[in-house]
Amino acid sequence: MRSSNLLAVLSAVSGAVAAAIDLPANVPRNVDEFRQKHPYKNKGCHNQRPLVKIRSSADDTDDVADEFLEGLKKANNGGTLYLPKGELFMIGKPLDLTFLNDVHVHWDGEVKFTNDTPYWQANAFSHPFQNSLMFWKWGGNDISIYGEGILNGNGQRWWNEFAGLEILDPDNKYLRPVLFYAENATNFQMEGIHEKDSPCWTNFIVTSKGVSFKDLVITAESNNATSEPKNTDFFDSLNVEDVTVERVWVNIGDDCFSPKSNATNLHVNTMYCNGTHGQSMGSLGQYAGEMSFVKDVVIENVWLLNGDNGARIKTWAGPDVGYGFVDNVTFRNFWQARNDYSVQIDSCYFNIPSETCEQYPSQMNLTNILFENFTGYTSGKRGAVVARLSCSTNPDAVCENIQFKNFNIKSPCGDPPVIICDGVKGDTGVDCVSADSAEAQAALGKTCSVPLATIDPPF
């Protein structure tokens, strides 16, 4: 369940919560207000660079993939490919764009992928990490994509056909493409673009350094209530360094920001997320014998509504998993409304039976994690419990220096908020109880519900 818009106060919520919490001043309530508050400043298409134009598509069946490829080849090494506003560019075959060097794409038109699901499943590029497929792959040095255009994954058919399945189910054979994939990219930036209706992850960045996303709008909205967008994360990564995300509006059906294995020096500043699984680290430690890590991360100035979680760290457990660490991660200035947990550390990720996690606990170390300046309220689905930290019971897995500072999340259920902490070493800065305690069980049992946070009048 998600609102098609973002960020507003509830029009009908329990009096205690409504009186105590209000929408922060000057927060945009929809895409138009987001663009007004954070206007994208178009760089223009010339910039003293040679300009390349290609023919546009006559309709949704007119594939211009070959022309798109040739246009980038001509613009490579110092030029700009120009996609004018009001023009459509249909892509109907996979494109290998990993040869790029010093190229700009001034993107004001719409690039749209065909929705021939059997063709793409048979012909798309693939990556072994979680059986990923890709429509195309970008890579190289000094790549700049900017403009006020649309990248459209045409995802509705994919969501319809995937309904009821799970991406991480080992028996799942229905694979869906990532909307934008880059590998071995150095100094890559995307600015201004509306990434729309991805079949699966929206962005997957692999083995890259110096990556920047700014002033983007990311949406995945279904017209079929029985097949909502699924796994449409805004950002996923593998082996990345020096990543910056600034001023992004996200209305999708999964993680808002979710770096996976081996990510260093990440900074997210100003993000609005609706209907997501949260700002996540991971999942991590999925593959047997492989080391995973995420370190040196700051995620700040974030607004999250109508989701499963606010800030989250998720690691795998079981007999055949990997190992590694999460270190020096700060979640700062988070405003939340109607998320199930405002904070969650899950060391038994993805439907692993609890007895399996107890027998084969996670091998991931979690150290130096800070949750600072959190305000808002939960959904009531977890009763009075507003945050839950479940660290690994593995004697070799460290979980220490996990700190809360200025943490003011309330439950709408009318009871004092409760935080569950299991396996955390040292003082967290807040009162914590064990999940097995009578207080925790009572708090979890006092569930309630509140309406979706919506901007629809009356506010």
Q: What is the pLDDT of residues 437-446, one digit of tens each?
A: 999 999 999 9
Catalytic (active site) residue 127: no
Check residue 27 and give its pLDDT. Answer: 81
Q: Tell whether the model's pLDDT for residue 419 goes beyond 80.
A: yes
Q: Which residues contact 186 (CB under 8 A, 6 or more apart)?
A: 140, 141, 142, 208, 209, 210
Backbone angles phi, psi at 72, to 5 degrees: -70, -35
CATH number (domain holding residue 137):
2.160.20.10
Structural domain includes residue 127: yes
> Looking at the domain assignment, is residue 187 inside a domain?
yes
Identify the CA nearest to 345 among candidates 329, 322, 323. Answer: 329
pLDDT digits (tens, 9 = 90+) for 228-254: 999 999 999 999 999 999 999 999 989
Query: Among the options 197, 233, 254, 346, which is catalytic?
Result: 254
Per residue in 145-181, is it b (16+ CB within 10 Å) or e — as a string? bbbbbbbbbbbbebbebbeeeebeeeeeeebbbbbbb
Confidence band, pLDDT 50/70/90 cuts, at residue 453: confident
In a domain? residue 360: yes
| Residue 434's pLDDT band (cuts 50, 70, 90) | very high
pLDDT in tens, 279-328: 999 999 999 999 999 999 999 999 999 999 999 999 999 999 999 999 99
Residue 1: its pLDDT value, please?
A: 38
Question: pLDDT for 334-389, tens place per residue?
Answer: 999 999 999 999 999 998 999 999 999 999 999 999 999 999 999 999 999 999 99
User: How many structural domains comprise the chain?
Assistant: 1
Q: Which domain holds residue 222?
A: 15-445
Q: Is residue 453 part of a domain?
A: no
Chain centre distance of CA 293: 18
Q: Is residue 4 part of a domain?
A: no
Residue 108 pLDDT exceeds 80: yes
Residue 8 near residue 376, CB atoms below 8 Å: no
Model confidence over 321-340: pLDDT tens digits? Answer: 999 999 999 999 999 999 99
Which residue out of 236, 255, 277, 346 is catalytically annotated?
277
- Whether 451 is in a domain gets the answer no
Q: Is the pLDDT of residue 164 over 80?
A: yes
| Mean pLDDT, residues 4-19 taken together | 42
Is 267 catalytic? The answer is no
In this predicted structure, what is the pLDDT of residue 12? 38
In a domain, 450, yes or no: no
Residue 326 lies in a domain: yes
Mean pLDDT for the chain overall: 93
